Each structure stands twice: as structure tokens, then as C-alpha cells.
Structure 1
Amino acid sequence: MADLTAALFARYNRVMRGTFVGVLIVACALVYIQFRMTLGAETSSLGQRMQEQAVSLDAIVKTASDAVNTMRIQAQTWFRLHPQGAEPSVLLRALQPGAAPGSIELEQLPPPWTVADAGNLTGLVGVRTPAIDRELEMALSLNGAFKTIKANLPGSTWVYYTSAYRFINIYPWVSSKKFFYADSLKQKEFFAGVEPVADPSRHILWTPVYLDEAGQGVMVTASAGVYDDKAFRGSVSLDLTLVQLNQFVRNWDESLGTLFIINDRGQLLAHPTLVRPGAQTILQAAEAFPPALRRDLPATLQAADGDLVELDGYYVETLGIQNAPFHLVLLVPRWNLVKVALETGVPSVMLLVMGLTLMLLIASSFTYRDAIVPAQKLVRYIQEEDRGSVKSIPDIPQAWRPWFLTIQNVFNAHTQLVSIQQELDVARRMQQSIVPTRFPSRPDLQMFARMIPAREVGGDFYDYFWLSDQKLGVVIADVSGKGVPAALFMAVARTLLRAIAPSAAGPGACLALANDLLAQDNEATMFVTLFYGILDTGTGMLEYANGGHNSPWLVAPDGTVSQLPGTGGMALGVIESVPFVQASAQIASGSTLLLYTDGITEAFNPAEEEYGEARLAGHLAASAGLGVEALLKRLVDSVYEFADGAPQSDDITCLAVHYGAAGPTKA
């Protein structure tokens, strides 16, 4: 009996050890699954947080870009509104000759002006002419904008206008004994880089990082060219220290890795430890990377562009910033994420092993109840979650609950992402439904349009509406920015235009009223470029006004291609009480009018070449005689063929109107 008992006990122990080993194998498998899922969730979460940080950084940079663009718009608007100059202002009369021959300075500010209200204008203008005085007056008119930008933009040090006429207006006011205009300023990149030869597209320029000569430390400058019609006059510039960028990266949780910022010149702009407050040294981007990644840094940055990838024991991701040539970089040692994944699963495993040991001492039934059954439920729960049929977490021991909650959270996050994508698809379809999809097709008038957003929703729109039996209004517009904010602003602009147009005296008056309404309480500083024309289908006369938009092209019956003369209007929504000049053109019978947005002409190919106005004109000439639908199809196909797979950077929208009894000769 004793031998039988021993044999039975030994067999029982073998069964229990086998059961225990089996459960341990299952537990290890679950730990591995948990580890992989947690590691995947951590990398996904880091990628999402990086996207959020990139959006936040872009908002910071956009504030500076918008400030520079606002100064440029104000300067160019002043030129348009004062073609012959203006009565000399108090500040202009206060300009005094400097020590050097032909020099000027604003060393003494006339009351009530103080050094808090204006900058010091110094220069070597020589003999003053009406043209020079006109530009001096414009530069002095920017003082209000300088003061506002300096007060509201953290990190700004100097705000200034530099003229090709050899003078500078710099804010805050600084005595001419400490700073006076020098011709060497025109050789600096903030000026030379925005001249027409260097910047024909008139973009916002960001300079490399440099040491401020006035002792303000390491900084960068945002600059833009100022034009009087087509004539280059100078540049508006904003000097920024890197304090705000460094504060931005220091707010990142260091346990999640190191966040830093580099520019396209290979320089390090911000780093939580390498770039210190008051630093007087410019560091290269490579210094922020470990030696293993530094050997082939361009390849590293390219591989990690937009994705969190594992390279030589590190997780790396880089995200470009839309409003500046900056890149946000995240560098995480792989062990950091592995440790987090292990710490998430190991405590649960320890509880499981202890529970299993206790259950083996009590009875085999406890083992089945507290280990095998929960494991089976967990696998079943994962399968049900995958099928989307889970109603609630089943009745399980408390030690198993974190497993189920983790799986539940992962699947819920996935479901939310799918739901967001579906909502964006609905928004895109709703936006497409706002614009007309049916067009007139009469013996004397044919129309067709195409709109292809760069994202799920866009900021472009086109429209047409009848103002009378024979007067047709046509509109095309491009809202600043992209995505949902641009789409909302687009809907508001279209609704206002439609409401105003029937009662407006003409296109110019219509745009003026729409601009005033859009500019009111426009805290988002969004604007829209817009062309609005009224075609009399009885006479062929086109009355139109242009709010900073691309001038339409006209294809004559003989194939000649030309652009409608511009009216010099500015974008809507920037400032109130701006007049819009109205013009008219006679449209010959058999002509086709093409309205379009800059998503066509500013399409880029992989070689960073622009489609451009000249290529568009050549394409229209080669497409003369096509029907409006065939014309737009060939035009969009031409843009895509030119882009050669490069990502679409802007919305593509175009509207073709064929006028005249003689219809197109080719299908």
C-alpha cells in the first residue's frame, strides 16, 4: 500500500509538474505576446506623440512666418495704396542728416513718439528723391507692426526693414551711435536670399543659425522680399533667439528619449542638454547623434523620415516642419522601450506563478480554475476582440484583469483610428458635395471643373451661379493652409460670396464687402485668394475682380493663349476696408477661359522643379479646340505626369468656361 501510495503520489507530482510546466509555457507565450503588443503600442504611442509635437512646433514657427508675411503684406499694400507717395509724416520730417555725407538717421523722436513706439531709421541714401521719400514713408509705417510683433512673439529680438535704397528701419530703437546702416547688410542672407534672382517664388526665407553681432547669442532670421508691384524694394526680417525652441524640447519627457531640432543646413537648433541658455557656439546636427548613427547621417535621416524605425540599437524618427526648413528628431535607446514593455508584463507573470504554486499545493482543481480557464478566456477574448464581437470582459481572477484591459485598450485605440478616418472620408464627401457637379451645356456656353484635395479635405473651391437670365458668375479660390481649418474657412467664404453677389454693384464691390466680413475677428489669421468674374452670355463681356489669386488664362479661337490683366487686389480676410479694382475684358466667341489654383503651377517633381506658368501656357496652346471636360482631364494628367510620383503638396482645382456659339472642334 505504501508503495502504491508513493507511486500514486509520484504520479500526482508528475501530473502537477507537467501541468505546471505546461501553464508556465502558456504564461511565457502570453508574456511574449504581451511584450510584443506593449512594445508595438509604445512605438505607436511615441509616433503619435511625435506627430503632436511636430504640429505644436509648426504652430510656433508659423507664428513667426505669419508675422513676417503680415509685414510683407502691409508693406506691399502701402505701396499699392500710395502710388504717388503721401504727405510727409511727422517721423519723415524728423529724419536728420547723419555724420557721413548723404546719410540720414532718426536719432530724435518727435513727441508723442517714444523709443517704445518706433525704430531707428538710418541709411546712406545720398540725394533724397520722391521715390526714396516714398519708400522711407512706407518703412516708417511699419513701426506699428514692429511693435506688435516684438510684444507678442516670444524670442524675437530685432524686427526690421532693409531697403535696396541703402537704409534700414530697425526695432526696438537703438542709437545710431551703436548701430548704423552698412552696405554689408545687403550681402547677408536675410537680404540677398530674398532678392528676385535668389527667390523668384517669393517664399519666407529662414537663414542658417548664426551668432548675433549685438551679443544676443545664437539666433535665426525669418525674412521675406517686399515688392512694389513687380519691383523689388527690400526685405522685412525678424530675428529670433533659440530660447523658445529649446524650452519646447526641454518640456519633452526625457524617459521617452531625447527630442531635438535640426535645420536643413545641418545645424543643431535645440537640444535639452547640448544647447544651453546663452550659448555662444553653433553646433552641428551630427553632434546630437551617437557615433553609430553619425557615420552616415543623411541615410539615417532619410530612413527615419516620418516613421519610428530601429537603427543600430536606437529608435529614430524625424518629422519635417511645414512652415520652416526644420526637422524634429526623436532619439530613443531601444532598451528604454524594451524595459517599459518588460515592466508592463513581468509583474503579472510573477503573480501568475505565485498563484499557480499555491494552487498546486491546494488542489489540481484550483489550477484548472485559476490558470487554465483564465488563459483560455484570454485567448478567446483576443479572438472576439479581433472579430469585434466582445460585449464585456468575462468573469476572471483579478490578476488577469490587466491583461484584458491592455488588450481592450489596444483594440479600442485601433477602432477609434478607423472611426476618425471614416469621419474624414465623410467630411471629404460633404466638401465635394458643396461645390457644383452639374454644369451648363448650352450651344453658347459649356463648363466643367475638377477639384483634387491634397489631403482628405482641402481649402480650394470653385463655384458658378446665375445672376440673371444671361449673366453668369464664376468663382475660384484658394484658402491659406490645408486640412479641416482650411475647409471650414472655405465653406464660410463661399457662403458669404454667394450671399453678397446677387445684390453687389459688381465684382469689385462684392469682394470688398466679403473681405470686410472675413477680416472681422479673424483670430486664426486665415485668408483666401479669390477670382470672381461675371460673364454676360449675350455680349461676351467679362467683368471681374481679383483678390490676390492667379490670373485666369484665355484660349482664343485661333489657339492664342493669354492671361487676363491683373487688378492688383490682395487676399481676402487680411485687413478690412481694402478696395478691389474691377476690370473688364471682351471674350471672343469660341474662346475658353481657364480659372485655376496654384496647386497646378506649384506642383513639383522629384527634382524639385516647378510646373510653372510657362508650362501651363504651352499646354493650353497645345490643347486648343478641346472640349472643356477633355481640356481639364488632359491638364490634370499633365500635372501628374510632370510630378512623376512626387507627393501632392497643394490642392488642385480648375474651372473651364467655353463661350460662344461655335463649340469645341475636338472631343
Structure 2
Amino acid sequence: MADLTSSLFARYNRIMRGTFVGVLLVACALVYLQYRQTLRSETDMLAQRMQEQAVALDAILKSSLDAVNALRLQAHAWYRLHPEEAPPSPLLATLLNGDGPQTLRLDAPPAPWSRDDVGNLTGFIDEPTPSLRRELEMALSLNATFQSIKANIPESTWVYYTSARRFINIYPWVSSQDFFYADTLHKKPFFREVEPIRDPTQRILWTPAYLDEAGQGIMITASAGLYEDRQFRGAVSLDLTLDRLNAFVRNWQSRFGTLFIVNNHGQLLAHPQLVRPDADDVLPSAAAFPAGMADRAQDILAAAAGKVVLSDGYYIETLAIQNAPFRLVVMVPRGEMVRAALLSGALTVLLLVAGLTLMLLVASRLTHREAIAPAQKLVRYIQDESRGSAKSIPHIPPAWRPWFQTIQNVFNAHTQLVSIQQELDVARRMQQSIVPTRFPSRPDLQMFARMIPAKEVGGDFYDYFWLSETRVGVVIADVSGKGVPAALFMAVARTLLRATAPAANGAGNCLAMANELLSQDNEATMFVTLFYGILDTSSGELLYANGGHNPPLLIEPDGNVSPLPTTGGMALGIMEDLPYQERSMLLAPGSTLLLYTDGVTEAFNPANQEFGERRLNELLARSSALAVEPLLAELVETVNGFADGAPQSDDITCLAIRYAAPARPGDPPCPTR
């Protein structure tokens, strides 16, 4: 052990010297690595900021998308709630009583409405059929939602419903002299692209950017088709200026770079310098790129989708917006990123090298005092404890004392565990000794049993005893729980059953008497499931009672396997004054009775599959011709093979009785083997 500690600390000294040499070598590479790391951090930060901006922009656009969807849902709901024509509302009455039978205009809303409350519904109609009047009422019902959308979305310019029946309801109110429905509206993208032939999925459409004819500047439109019973009626639309998008990109909070927005039509929607409120034309997305990159703008945008790429001296990333066919683009000159990385990294590296050298010197001394020396003492202490010659814990830093105490406790616990294991071995041998190991082997009766505890000692037991020259009692039981408590309760239960059996009037009375004794002062609330049968070898009659145990299986001479009919009794030890019914049946010569505990059927394999009653019945059917001892050997081998090394979950106990023929007068009363 002295050689071991010397080798350990000599190796530590070599490591420390190598570390000092490594620091000098690594210092030369740190400048470059720091530069690369800082540059990578800058690009990662740029990507993270882009993600944040994309989420924020998506939220802005989602409010417009939700507004259009709300209009559509409101219209659909109105149609469902008004399946038939009703008397016209004051607004509709005003419309229908206008200038002429073919012209609609709401230039003078009736009281109590004002021009701030409603849009102007203008257009042309032929005969006002009930269907058309219902659609007009629906269009007028959208006014309140128009007003709410305009108040909550500052960048909205117009909110309107355009009908396929040649009318439009537009908000804010505008005089019909300034704006009146025209059939050319049906050729605009906001209406044409949401018609069923182009929009079978009924999505919400974003139009290309365009110059507003009313002088409101460049804007875009969000539009959705509106249906009544799958019949296309028109489009609900929201016109938005680009002011808010431009304000969004101007508020870019990064140290460098330019943020702008393009759409899927190759248009530049927002840019801090290029897109202005008074612009008279929509710029292409290529306008945001330097001259040498403009012709490849679309390819560059596709390559930078979702990641930062370096192209033509620029770091570029594009992120798609979920609620609109737009892309958020950032473009940063490479020189800006390189300068930022160098300025932030050089001083940091110098301070790091100096600080690291000083820390190594201090750490070497402190490590030897606080770790190496105590570790050497710990190794020696383990050696002394393993030989049983350890003295008191040596003088060590306070932080190491729990380690020494843990080692001390471990060795003490090991000594105790060895003692406990020895006692458990004794208990296991004692438990095995109280169950029968010799079994009858007569012309009329053969018997054999196997018991495999899940732990050192278990709670299962089996038993047999002769009540007369031709009557033999057989028992199998399973105590709740495992280990030593179950084994002790098992011994008590077996003793009580043997004591009460000779005086009991039948199997049911025997279980009732044993239950009374087990239930008294049962503070541990343990119980035992138990099957008790009395076989008369002179007649083959089996009288039995069951206290909550698995029904034994009867293997008939022809290989048929079936459970014994149940008697409905509860487990013993739960409560006093319980009755136990008994039943009787005649066993045919050559029949075999298998008594078993649930450790057989509840054996699990590594795939957590259960052996189960079906596999047990199949095994017994194909092994019915075997004698009782080979039969149980085959059963245990099959169960172990099924478990395939999985831990045994419960005690495995089984008792097989083969009834051959009625006893003859010359047969010995109860021979065993």
C-alpha cells in the first residue's frame, strides 16, 4: 500500500508539471480560439435575436389574421343563427329604400347610428330576393366587428366585406361619392384569389403589396372567403399600411446589421432606409442587397433560411413567419462582426492566461494540503480497516471527516451484514426442515412437492398428514409478504392447522377454527391464503375448503386440466367468525391434483410478460403422463426457462398428488419415501 500511495502522488506531481507546460502552449492558441468563439457567439446571438424578432413580428401579424378570421366566423355564425329571413333591420330598410331599386348606398345612417358606427354599403342589386336580403343583413351585422378591429389594429386602413352579388360594406364610412362599389373589385387579388376555384382550402390570403388608390400609400391586404352552406358569398378583408412593419425593423436592437422584411412575391415590405411612407412604388426584394448580390437575391435568401450563412462578405439569415407568407431578413457586413469579436476577445485572453497561471500555483499548494495528503491518509485508513487494525481517525481537514466516517460505517455495516446473512441461512435451513421432505409412495397414492423461496426465507408452505389409515390431509398456503415476518407467520399457521385438523369436523370447520386463532391479537394484520383438502384413498373422495387461495388444478387421466370448483372462502387471519364452506368430489383413478401458489403463474420474464394460467394448463396437459416428481421437475424447469434470468418476484411452491386406485386391505397405511 505504501508503494501504491507513492506512485499515486508521483503521478500527481507529473501531471502538475505537465499542466504548467500545457498552459504556456495553450496560451498561444487561446487568442485565436477566443476570436473564433466570440465570433461564433456573436452569430449565435444574432440568430437568437432573429428568433425573438420573428416571434414578435408573428404576433403582430397574427392579430390581423385573427381579425379576418373573426369576421369570417362571425359571418358563418350569423348564417347559422338566422336560417330564415326576418323583418328588415332599420339599416337594411334604409338601404332598400334608397335612390333606386338597383342602387345601394348608406350615405345617411338612420338614428341611433352615426357614420362612426357603420361602414357605407354600396353596390348594385336586381330583385332583392330573400337570400340577398339575408346576405345584406349579414354584411350590416359586421359593422360592430369592423369598428373593434379598426380600434385595436392602428395600422389598419379599411375593413370591408365584398359580396359576389355586386356590393361592398366598407369601414370606416366613406361617402359613396368618394368610393362606390365597382365590378373591377372582383378582379383584385383580395377577392379573386379566395374564390373556391383558387382557394379550395379556404385559407386566409395575404395579397402582394400595392399602392392604395385612395392615396393611403403602400399597403397589403389579408382576406378570406366567406361561405353559406358551402356556397361562396364573398370575401372579408383587412387593408394594412406598411407603417408598423417599417417601425418594427427600425427598432432592431442589435449592435449591427440591417433588418428588413420581404414577401413571397419578391417584394420589399419593410426596410429602415429604403421603404418610406410617401413611396410611390413597391420595391423588389433585390433592392435591399448590394449591387453584386441583387441578381442572386432569391438564391441567397433560400440558402440562409433558418440559419446564419456567410455570402459575399455578409452574414445573412432569413426566418419564415408563421402567420403570413413573409420572411424576416438580417444582413450584417462581415467586417463589423470581426471587429466586434477581436475587440471583445484580446484583453480577455491576456487576463485569462495570467489568472490561470496564478490559479495553478495556488491550486497546486492547496490541492496538496486539502486533497492529496488527506487522500493518502484515506487509502491507508481503508487498508487498516480491511485488516481489522484501524485505530482512530487521523488528523485531517474537516471536509474529509465524513469520508472516513463513511468508510468506518461501511466496514461496520459489512460485519453486521455478514452476521445477518449467517442468521438468515440458519433460518432458511430451519424453515426447510419444518415442511415435509419425505412423501408417500404407495400403489394408490403418490405425492411430491417443491418449494423455492424468493428470498432467503419465504411465506409459502405445503404440508400433508394422515388423519386415519386411509384419509390424508393436504395443505398449500401463501402468507402475505415475504422474508422473515412471512416465514414466522407461516410457521404459526402450519402449527395451528396441524393442531386443529384432527379435532375438526371436516375441512371447512378446520379452516374456521384456524382462522379464529390466527385472527386473535394479529396486530401485524398478516393473513394467509390456504387450501386444505382431505383425500380418502379408499374411495377417491376429496373433501376440501379454500381460504382465498388459487384453486388447485385437476389433471384427469385423459389429459384434461380444470380447476377445482371454488368454495368462496376468505384468507385466514383477516377477521374472526368467518364461515368456510366445503365441497367434495370423487377423483377418478389416475387423476393428479396440483396444489400451487401464485409464484408459479405470476413469474415474469425480462419483457414483463406473465407465465399465467394458460401456459400452466398447457404444460400440465402435455405432461399428464409423468409421475408426480418428474411432473414438478418439468414445471419448475419450464417456469425458470420462461423467466429467463428475470428476478423471482414471489415464492414458488407446488404439491402434486396422484390418486391411482382405491387402497386395498393389504396396502401399508402410510409409507413414505
TM-score normalised by L of structure 2? 0.49
TM-score (norm 1): 0.49
